[in-house]
Amino acid sequence: MTAAQIMHETDCLPPAEQEKVVTYARQLPRKKPLSAPELTSLAQRMVDATDEEIAQRLKAELVNGFYGTE
């Protein structure tokens, strides 16, 4: 199946099912580990963060980026 076919099929779904597809697609990048340069950049942003809430969010992204998610 091609991407065009998948998009067409998605267009034919009811709105609630389309939302599930969109949610799944948005989560795909978080499921794979990040590359070394991406991890390094993320770690530097975390260290440089002056806001504790942002630093904690970046820390969570760093852990997920290192291990990937299921």
Amino acid at 21: V
**pTM for this entry:** 0.53
Q: Based on the structure, what is the number of domains in the chain?
A: 2
Q: Are both 65 and 44 inside the same structural domain?
A: yes
Amino acid at 51: D
pLDDT tens digits for 40-49? 999 999 999 9
Host domain of residue 57: 32-70
Residue predicted with more confidence, 36 or 69: 36
Q: Are both 40 and 67 inside the same structural domain?
A: yes
